[in-house]
Structure 1
C-alpha cells in the first residue's frame, strides 16, 4: 500500500505556519519601516503595520486591531516621537513589556535639522553645502563623510529674528523650533542600511534561533540598497541641475543622499495649509527663477498645487514618501525611492 504524500504547497504552508508560530510578534509604525522589517524577517515571520498606508503619520487614530498589535508585540520598531508624538503614549501604555526601538536613535543614523525657511535660500543661491547637515548625532564611524560639509553652525546662524516672514505669512512663529530633527530619515537609503542592522540585532536578541536568517536577510537587503542608490543616481542624471519645489519639506534626506536639492516647499509643514502670502511668494519664485516642477502629495489637497501653478509654466507630478498606493511588504521601500526618482525625472 503506497503512502500518500502531501502536496508541496500544503507542506510548505504547514512548515511556514510553524515558523510563524515561533516568530516574535513585531509591530511597526509606518509602511516604509514595515518594509525594512519585513525584509529582515523573511522566512521567519511577518510584522504588523500600525499606521494604515496612505494615512498621515503625524496625526492618526488607532483602530482596535492596531492597538491589539501593539499590546501583543514583543518588539516595536518606529521612527520615534519626532514623527509620531501621539504614538509615544500608546507605545508606553500598550507595549510596556516590549523591546521598543526608535530608529532615529540608532547608532550611525544621519540626522538633519528641520529647515525653517520654506524657500530653501541656500539652494536658491546655489550653495548646496549650507543646507542641511546640522547634527549627525551618531555619524562617527558610519562610513559617511558628512562632517566636511560644514553644517554644524546652521541652527546657530539662523535666528528667529532674521525670519520675520513667518509672522508675515500667517504662521505661528514656526511649527518647528531650531535644532529639532527632521524625522523623514527613511528617505536616505544610507539610513535604511543602518536600520537594517539595528532591526536584525534586535530581532536576533529576541529570537536567537533565527539570528542567522535575520542577519543574512539584512546583509542581502544592504546590497540591494547599494544597487538601488546606483539606479536612482542614473535616473536623475539627465535632469540634474533642474529645479523643483515640493509640497512640504519632507524630502531633504533624499535630496542629500543624491545631491539633488529642492528649491523650496509650498508649506513649512504638513500641520496646516500654506497662507495666501506663502503661496504668492512661491508663485513669484516659480516665475522669476523658472522653476521646472512643483510636486504634490497624495495626502494633501491638490487644489493648493493648482493655485500655486496658476500663471506659471511649471509642470507638476505626485511624489509619495510613504508609498500610499503600494502593497505593504518587503518590496515597498525600494519602490518608494525608485518612484520618487522616476516622478522627478518625468516632471523635470
Structure 2
C-alpha cells in the first residue's frame, strides 16, 4: 500500500516558495505613456505592443486644432513618464500642460524627430504651381536646434505639421518612439526594438500597396478642406490644387470661397473633399454649379478604432477615398 505523502513543514514550505520567487526574473513595470492624437497613438501602440498600452488624449472625431483639455487628460499627463506629440504647432492645447502638468514626463516632439522630412505650409486657398512643387523640404537632425526654429530660418509655424501622412516620416517616427521608450525602459528595450522593426516592415508593404492603387489617379486635380495632405500628395505624386481654408479653426471668407470655385473651373478639379471633423456644408457651397464631385478625407482616423491597426487603416482609407472620387 502506497504511503501517504506527508505535508512539508510550514517553514520548509515558506523557504521553497521564497527560493522559487527569487529564481524568477522580476517583471519590469512599463512606463506610463501618453500620446496626443490617434495616428501618433497608433504608432506608439504598435511599438509598445505586448508590453503596455499608451493613453490617447484626442479621442473619437475631435480635432487637435480645436481640442480643449479635460480633467482626465490632465490626470493622465500628471502620471505620465513619456508624452509623444507632434508639437505645439499642431497640438497647441498641449503646449503649456506638457510643461506644467506632465512635470515628470519626457516630452518627445515628433516634428523634431531625426529623419523626419518637413514641407513648408502652403499659403492661400488656391495653390500656385510653384507652391505645389514641394520644393522646400527640411530633413534636419533637430537634437541641437532651438525648439521652434530651423537652421535655415524657417520656424515651425511655417511647416505643414501632418507629418505622419508620409510613410517615410512614419518610419522615422517609429524609430524615434522606440528609442525614447528603450531609454526610459531598458528592461523592455528588446521588445520595443523588435516591434519597431516589424512596424517598419509593415509600413513598407503598405507603401507599395498604396503606390500601386493610386498610380491611375496621380495627375487628376482636387481640392481639400485644409492643407493636411501635402505629405501624402508629395509621396504618391498626387495633384492637390487648393484648400477651402488655411486655418480649420476659422470659417473661410467669401473671397476665398470664390477663389476656390474659380480654381475648380480653371483647372478642372475633379473632386472637393470635406473632413468629418469640420463643417461639410462649405463643400456643398464650393461644388454647387461646378462639375466637381464631393468626397471625404480624414487625416486622423475619426471613425477608426484606436490602436496599432489605426495607422494602416487610416492610410488605406485616404487612398480609397481619393481613388473612388478621382477615378469615377
Query: How does the TM-score come out when normalised to structure 1?
Result: 0.80
Q: Which residue of 1 aligns with 2:262?
A: 284
- Which of 29, 40, 43 is 1:33 aligned to? 40
Aligned-pair CA distance for 1:317:
0.8
The answer to whether the Cα contact below 8 Å between 1:30 and 1:51 also exists between their aligned partners in 2 is yes
Q: Is the 8 A contact 1:79 1:103 kept in 2?
A: yes
Q: How many residues align?
A: 294
Q: Which residue is equivalent to 2:191?
A: 213
Correspondent of 2:219 among 228, 233, 241: 241
| Corresponding residue number in structure 1 for 2:148 | none
Residues 304 and 132 of structure 1: is their aligned pair in 2 closer, same or farther, counting only changes over 3 Å?
farther
User: What is the CA-CA distance between 1:179 and the residue it aligns to?
Assistant: 6.5
| Distance in 1 of aligned mates of 2:247 and 2:187 | 44
Deviations 1:110-163 (A, max 9, x none): 01111113211116xxx95x3342433339xxxxxxxxxxxx9998xxxxxxxx
**Counterpart position of 1:335:** 313
Q: Report whether the alignment pairs 1:180 with 2:158.
A: yes
Query: Residue 66 of structure 1: CA displacement?
Result: 1.4
Deviates more, 1:177-186 or 1:112-121: 177-186
Report the Cα distance in structure 2 between the residues aligned to 1:86 and 1:61, rounded to whole angstroms: 7
Paired with 1:138 and 1:271, the residues of 2 have a C-alpha distance of 31
Aligned-pair RMSD on alpha carbons?
2.3
Counterparts of 1:1-348 in structure 2, within 5 Å, are: 22-122=29-129, 130-138=133-141, 180-348=158-326
Q: Unaligned stretches of 5+ in structure 1?
A: 2-17, 140-151, 156-176
Counterparts of 1:288 and 1:300, CA distance in 2:
26
The DSSP-based 3-state class of the residue aligned with 1:88 is helix
| Cα offset, 1:300, TM superposition | 1.0
1:178 shift after superposition: 9.3
Whether the 8 Å CA contact 1:252–1:261 is kept in 2: the answer is no
* 1:150-206 Cα shifts (integer Å, max 9, x gaps): xx9998xxxxxxxxxxxxxxxxxxxxx997211111111111101111111111111
- Can you list the C-alpha shifts for 1:215-250, whole angstroms capped at 9, x where unaligned? 000001001111111111111112121111001111
Pairwise CA distance, 1:61:
1.6
How far does residue 322 in structure 1 lie from its aligned partner after superposition? 0.5
Residues 178 and 41 of structure 1: CA distance in aligned 2, closer, same or farther (over 3 Å): closer
Give 1:310 shift: 0.4
Deviating above 6 A after TM superposition, structure 1's stretches of 4 or more consecutive aligned residues are 152-155
Given that 1:296 and 1:318 are in contact with CA atoms closer than 8 Å, whether structure 2 keeps it comes out as yes
Q: Give the secondary-structure state (helix, strand or coil) at the position aligned to 1:344.
A: helix
**SS of equivalent to 1:295:** strand
Distance 1:240 1:112 in 2: 19
Deviation for aligned residue 1:58: 1.6
Distance in 1 (CA, whole Å) between partners of 2:220 and 2:153 is 25
Q: CA deviation at 1:86?
A: 2.3
Pair 182,194 (structure 1): closer, same or farther in 2 beyond 3 Å: same
- Cα distance change on mapping 1:45 and 1:110 into 2, 3 Å: same
